[in-house]
Structure 1
Amino acid sequence: MKALTGLLLLVFGHGVSSVLHSKQYFYTGSSGLSTFPEFVAVGMVDGVQFEYYDSNTQREVLKQDWMEQAIREDHDYQARGTGIAQGDQQVFKADIVHLKKIFNQIGGIHIYQWMYGCEWDDEDDSTDGYEQYGYDGEDFISLDLKTLTWVAAVPQAVPITQSWNEDEADLQYLKYYHTKECVGVLKTALFYGKNTLQRTDRPRVSLLQRSPSSPVVCHATGFYPDRVVVFWRRDGQELHEQVDPGEVLPNHDGTFQVSVDLNLTAVPQEDWGRYECVVQLRGIEDISTPLDPALIRTNWEVQSGLTIPIIIGLLVLLLAAAAAVGVFVYQKRNGSDTSSENTEEQNPAPEAQPLTTVCS
């Protein structure tokens, strides 16, 4: 299944000059899972969870201290967000019934997912938006913002996309929302949480090796934000072969980590001095670590009487909702007032639109 992997992208190359900020909402509806909430809604800014709702608690919870400023300026913020989420919960429950109908399904476990959001580059002021949703771990419908059309990923979604593409007014609203309204709210959130979201945490860099024949791993951890550049160099030239880049993963404390492997199978140890790992993060000087055997931490040799284990990346799931996600998805919402950016600020999640009219 195709996922929006570009949202957390590790870029290999030189120069970290701008930060791509993002605001996202993730919704997951389920049926047939007794140990999983039938509906979960999560809001995130720059990969940091700031709002959460599920059908078990039936209330919106603010996850960041900096959101207290929003409550002070709008006392009904949480109550309004709770009401919207409760309405979306009922829509999702009905939608799953109709999706099971058009897929000719009876009983079983089913997952319906929705994602929408926007991105803003703080250097060139460019913006982008995305909407995607899916069913049972497969793409279902997505919005092509460039052509302003809904695209069906499976035959069962064609009648829905045809109906939605006929609604010109709503398509124009979606264009406005993703390029203007959502970006405005994102900038407001960045202002509220500037001490957290716009900070720079210097990475700690280690060289790791499981065994004498294993690749040497350049492991950077504890950095923020997550847009980092990590690469290996030989004789001052960036390597594109011999390397295996890893995925940027979150740490439990809100920072990030990433590992990049270097295969030295065909390299004699006397040539190791020609290699170095370079980590680049905006706001700090490049961190260069030479490939020195004395700097490599291993789990196969004892140092100072202690066996030092390899540090491996632990992916900490922010949400139970994302556990079943193969693709994050977005479902079309009812049209709402777009007269000011404060509308989205006061109503953090747009209301979902039922599929009944096109699925029944």
Structure 2
Amino acid sequence: MKILVFLVLLGLHSAAAGIHSLKNILTMSSQVPNSPEFVIVGMVDDVQIYHYDSNTRRLEPKQDWANRVTEDDPQFWERKTARCLDTQHLFKGYIKNLKHRFNQTGGVHIFQWMIGCEWDDETGEVNGFRQVGYDGEDFLSWDVKTNTWIAPKQQAVIIKNNWNNDEAKLAYYKNVLTQELPDFLKKFVNYGRSSLMRTELPSVSLLQKTPSSPVSCFATGFYPDRAEIFWRKDGEELHENVELGEILPNHDGSFQMNVDLNLSSVTPEDWRRYECVFHLSGVKDDIITKLDKTAIQTNWGKTGDGRDGGFPLGAVIGVVVVLLLLVVGITGFFLWKNKKKGKDGFQPANTSDASSSSPSSSSVGVQNTT
């Protein structure tokens, strides 16, 4: 399975309205079958805008509007590709050194570095972040308030101390996080404004696997992922006998989500008191779907009034389950979780010894000049 698939399914949701984010995620792996050894993914507002891997050895735009950067800088992608090649070589040295530091001789190992920032286009506030992870755990992180590195792992203490003693590099990091990255983010938000700021309403269906199963209110095709879906009774939101699913990506870049309602204790005459509500951020009117037995689509062949259901609920549930399993399976490998928001990573110093010096500007992939 491609590492890129893992990254796309990390569940990194867009920030609230007015806040934009830039994330560069660099991943070096060891002995992961059928995957590129090195991958770089760049995202603006959690939309992938460029990609590099050690198989193609090219940094390429993933959105048409991202290529507008060449209007001002025709050699942008060629220059950044060369930087990615250098970073790939340096990261290979880093994972080798980390395996030695942890007394590891073989097996699957993952080293990741994330660098980025958030920008509030209403207040102008900027927050930068860096974070380093190894084998699914924090290895080094950046404290933006003190402008220093933090080492949660004993094996990282020597590296932390050496890098924190390099005042010139500390000043350099601060400039990257507070000036260079925000400027790059603002430029790409402007390029992709019509796409990033768009809203698309979903189709909403009532689904039921078996006559005794919960009724699922399923919304798909919406954008962005800043959305809510819930059941309510007599106008009041329900919190009991409901189960809310995660927001998941569709293949076309839109999203889907569902919320289930257990009706085992609800009498048929009370069904009319229930309704499903879908709310999309930035859209005034909600989509309200009444709980109507005749509108429920099933996978046993008939709707509540005996008509053909005609909806492959089994396939839908199967896709959702597979996606959820993917998400669960990768969390052990990758360190970016929603609760970790606001931290970031690490640039390689050289391939001989990760603890010898702080990272230099020449070792940065796409992120340093972004």
TM-score tier (shorter): 0.7 to 0.9
Separation in 2, partners of 1:294, 1:122: 46
1:238-274 CA distances to partner (integer Å, 9 max, x unpaired)?
A: 2233222222111111111111222333222322222
| Structure 2 residue 288 is the aligned partner of structure 1 residue 288 | yes
Q: CA deviation at 1:34?
A: 5.0
Secondary structure at the residue paired with 2:269? helix
Q: Cα distance 1:27–1:213, how it changes in 2: closer, same or farther (>3 A)?
A: same
Match of 2:81 in 1: 82
* Percent of paired sites with the same residue: 49
Secondary structure at the residue paired with 1:183? helix
After superposition, residues 79-118 of structure 1 pair within 5 angstroms as 79-118=78-117
Match of 1:349 in 2: 367
Q: CA deviation at 1:84?
A: 0.9
Match of 2:3 in 1: none
Separation in 1, partners of 2:129, 2:46: 15
| Structure 2 residue 311 is the aligned partner of structure 1 residue 308 | yes
Structure 1 runs, 4 residues or longer, greater than 6 Å off: 3-6
Secondary structure at the residue paired with 2:90? helix
Q: In the alignment, residue 12 of structure 2 is paired with which amino acid?
A: L
Contact 2:14–2:45 (CA under 8 A) maintained in structure 1: no
Match of 2:298 in 1: 298
Contact 1:128–1:179 (CA under 8 A) maintained in structure 2: yes
Match of 1:8 in 2: 13
Q: Cα distance 1:149–1:69, how it changes in 2: closer, same or farther (>3 A)?
A: same
Match of 1:257 in 2: 256
Q: Cα distance 1:121–1:258, how it changes in 2: closer, same or farther (>3 A)?
A: farther
Q: CA deviation at 1:93?
A: 0.4
1:273-301 CA distances to partner (integer Å, 9 max, x unpaired)?
A: 22222111133221111222222222124
Q: Cα distance 1:81–1:130, how it changes in 2: closer, same or farther (>3 A)?
A: same
Q: CA deviation at 1:179?
A: 3.9
Contact 1:252–1:316 (CA under 8 A) maintained in structure 2: no
Gaps of 5+ in 1: 11-16, 338-343, 352-360
Q: CA deviation at 1:142?
A: 2.0
Q: CA deviation at 1:104?
A: 0.4
| Structure 2 residue 127 is the aligned partner of structure 1 residue 128 | yes
In the alignment of these two chains, the number of paired residues is: 332
Secondary structure at the residue paired with 1:142? strand
Secondary structure at the residue paired with 2:12? helix
Secondary structure at the residue paired with 1:8? coil
The TM-score with structure 2 as length reference comes to 0.80
CA RMSD, 1 decimal: 3.1
Match of 1:326 in 2: 334
Separation in 2, partners of 1:316, 1:60: 29
Gaps of 5+ in 2: 1-6, 337-343, 349-358
Q: CA deviation at 1:316?
A: 10
1:149-173 CA distances to partner (integer Å, 9 max, x unpaired)?
A: 4332322122222333333443444
Separation in 2, partners of 1:164, 1:277: 54
